[in-house]
Amino acid sequence: MSVTVTPVGTDTDLTAFIRLPYDLYRDDPLWVAPLERERRSFLDPARNPYHRVAGVRLFLARRHDTVVGRIAAIVDPRYNERHGPDRGLIGLFECVDDHEAAAALFDTADGWLAAQGMKRTLGPLGFTTNDECGVQISGFDQPHIVMIPRNRPYYPQLFSACGFEKAKDLVSYAIPIPDDGEPPAEYREAAERVLATPGLTVRSLDPQRTEADMETVRKLYNETFTHSYGSVPVDEAQFGYMMKKLKPLLRPGLLQIAEMHGEPVAFLLCLPDAHQALHAARGRLTTMGLPVGLIRAARAVRRIDRVRFAAMGVAREHRSRGLAAALVTEAQRAAFRLGYTEISYSWVLEDNHASRRHGEALGGVHTQTHRLYERATSAL
């Protein structure tokens, strides 16, 4: 076999792992390059607390000394405790249009997972569902949204040809914000009835107590996503790492917290689509020591006109109150006041019909679908 797959073991290997996508998508005008330094931090066990709770192994595929693919194999005990004891994960998959290379990557990852006692493989994920996840299978003419993956159109065929089957689809909607900033009348009226509930308060992030509010979000997330497909609990260290990256994007009105008689019961976290600015940076904030990318990105920030509804959770005992509509309405109004003109409602599980109805009721158009795949490790 002319394709060889080896573990990432040197700094040179790690650099090749990180930079492969820059070559694969060089001619894709819609692809947004991640910041290289952020990717290095994400993969560094000394900086990313995820590596303290999960086992991660990175692999590179080469054909005649040329890197043609990459993959991460992941065993997350928290995932196994919540979703089953024998499922391994794969992520960060990138590959040229080469069935042999893809098969070699999948088989090597499966072999490592099987050695850890895993019997099935699910993916691709960044590391968890809190990162980029899924293979894009439609909507290739749509913009590359922050924290939503973009890949070559041939990727689904690589997975299918290698014995993977659909596990779950993740759907995304684009919602235009009307000129008055208000949701459609019927939706708005329902939200207003909820907002009038005695004892209910829906408020924005308090800039004077950002850390306390974000800890509230973490606790609500862990509580409300307990039974969500593929989710894992987020501890304080991991949440702190995530928030350090997201803090520059936080806008007070784009984080809504619902409280019932002073007790937090729901949240909605929205993020400006930083990809609209990062596209200008081209993956690097500095070039030869000069802040070229930083300057480009800073200028482009002014052009961000899209916000992403990234996560929403409602405590189980309050789900019949219609709090989601209240949160969404207040967040859309805040987004309008901040100058945004479009909402990316992404992503939503294909069978989460309640959430999908919200997107559709707001006038959303289904724009993209991403797919998680799985197969038995015995497919080697």
Options 2.70.50.30, 3.30.360.10, 1.10.1580.10, 3.40.630.30; CATH for 175-369 is 3.40.630.30
Q: State yes or no: pLDDT of 297 exceeds 80.
A: no
pLDDT value, residue 301: 55
Confidence of residue 299 (pLDDT cuts 50, 70, 90): very low
- Calculate mean pLDDT across residues 359-370: 96
pLDDT value, residue 295: 34
Distance CA(176)–CA(184), nearest Å, equals 11
- Calculate mean pLDDT across residues 124-153: 95
**β-pairing, 120-125 with 87-95?**
parallel
- Calculate mean pLDDT across residues 242-257: 85
Q: State yes or no: pLDDT of 298 exceeds 70.
A: no
Span 142-184, pLDDT tens digits: 999 999 999 999 999 999 999 999 999 999 999 999 999 999 9
- Calculate mean pLDDT across residues 280-309: 54
pLDDT value, residue 210: 87
Span 42-87, pLDDT tens digits: 999 999 999 999 999 999 999 999 999 999 999 999 999 999 999 9
Q: Return mean pLDDT, the chain.
A: 91
Distance CA(236)–CA(215), nearest Å, equals 8
**β-pairing, 66-75 with 87-95?**
antiparallel
pLDDT value, residue 302: 61
* Strand ranges (E), the chain: 3-7, 55-63, 66-75, 87-95, 120-125, 135-138, 165-176, 200-204, 255-260, 263-272, 306-314, 342-349, 365-376
Contact 127, 56 (CB under 8 A): yes
Query: Does 3-170+372-379 match 175-369 in CATH topology?
Result: yes
> Domain residue spans in the chain?
3-170+372-379, 175-369
Q: What is the pTM of this model?
A: 0.92
pLDDT value, residue 70: 98
Residue 230: CA atoms inside 13 Å, Cβ hemisphere, count?
Answer: 27
Q: Which CATH superfamily is domain 3-170+372-379 in?
A: Gcn5-related N-acetyltransferase (GNAT) (3.40.630.30)
Distance CA(37)–CA(230), nearest Å, equals 28
